[in-house]
Every structure is written in C-alpha cells, then in structure tokens.
Structure 1
Amino acid sequence: MGAVLTAEFMASVGTIHRFTSADALAAASGLAPVLTQSSGKVRHSRSVTGGNKALKRVFYQASFCSIQRDPTSRAYHDRKRAGGKRHHQALIAPARRKANVVYAMLRDRRPFQARPPLRLVA
C-alpha cells in the first residue's frame, strides 16, 4: 500500500483490536459475502453498498495497483478472469486476500514476507 492508502486505512480502522478476526475486518470493509434470504431462498452475494466505503476503497485501490506491478497478484487476477469472473469481481477477490494479510501483519506485528512460489516435482 502507498502512503496515502496507509494513512486512509489507519484513519478508518483506528486500532486493529476493534476486529476479532480477518473476517471481521473484511466484513467491516464490505468485502465479505453477505447472506441474503427471502421466502425460503438463500443466496450468498457480495454487498455493493455495505461496509465502510473508505476502507473498501483502500483495499480495492491496493488490489488494482498490485495486479499492475506484482506478477503473483496478476496471475491470481487472471485465474479469476479465466474462471468466468468479471474484472470488478476479479479485483474484489485479491482485495479480500489483502484484508487477511494486513490483519495478520498488524496482529502479529511482523512485516510482509512473500512466500516463494511452489514448484511441482514430477
């Protein structure tokens, strides 16, 4: 995340102890699926209008920048697109991942360390 996004994130979140888990952070930012029930029908859908809009913007913008500069994020985005997701949906998926990573970094007080890619041995 850039300096502006980091400042906006800290202003929106305050302290990470407000959230009990990474799922709670994702739900507060509007990135978690929302259960919709009506007359016996149950659907899981993403909430377009729910959550903290500033926080959602932070993760969305971070996701957008990462698919342009990070090959791992780009490959994840391309897999989602190949799976039939639209561009916006394919951007929300890595944004949710980023919410999980940021929560873990702040909870454990450790900097981000990318894992080396797995290689399949034949």
Structure 2
Amino acid sequence: MTLLTREGASRVYYDKKRSEGKGQATAMLCLTRRRIDVLHAMLRTGTPYRPPMPLTLVSRPIAA
C-alpha cells in the first residue's frame, strides 16, 4: 500500500489496472506480481535495482 501513496511507476501501473476494470484486490495482486518479478530478476542476475529513467529525460536531445 505504501507504493500507492506516492507518484511513480507503481501508482501508474495500479491506476492502469483499475482503469482496465480490475477490482482493488486484483489490481494490487497484479502490482505485487510485477514487483516480485523485478526482485527475482535482481536476485538471478545479481544486479541492484535501477529505477527506469523518465522518458522526458531519455528522449530529449541536449541543446547545443
């Protein structure tokens, strides 16, 4: 529930699932599964968590 109190990828994903017509419990289970998948990938590869960069920072060219 803490993930939903702040803006970010978790909140966006949860809101997307709710807009798809899923109930609160089902949307929370989808979010939990997504987080478990990330944790499993981190343990499997031995890499630390790196949050995704916002698209505005990635796709904006640097002005000369």
TM tier, shorter chain?
A: 0.7 to 0.9
- 1:81 is aligned to 2:18: yes
Deviation digits for residues 11-40 of structure 1 (CA, Å, limit 9, x no counterpart): xxxxxxxxxxxxxxxxxxxxxxxxxxxxxx
Return the index of the structure with the highest Cα Rg: 1
In structure 1, what residue type is equivalent to 2:33? R
Q: CA RMSD in A?
A: 1.9
Number of positions where the alignment pairs a residue of Structure 1 with one of Structure 2 = 58
Normalised by the length of structure 2, the TM-score is 0.75
Structure 1 CA distance for aligned equivalents of residues 48 and 3 of structure 2:
17
Structure 2 CA distance for aligned equivalents of residues 93 and 78 of structure 1:
11
What does 1:1-122 correspond to in 2, within 5 Å? 64-118=1-55
In structure 1, what residue type is equivalent to 2:15? D
Unaligned runs of 5+ in 1: 1-63
Normalised by the length of structure 1, the TM-score is 0.42
Higher relative contact order (CA 8 A, sep 6+): 1
Please give the secondary structure, in 2, of the residue aligned with 1:95: helix
User: Equivalent pairs: percent with the same residue?
Assistant: 34
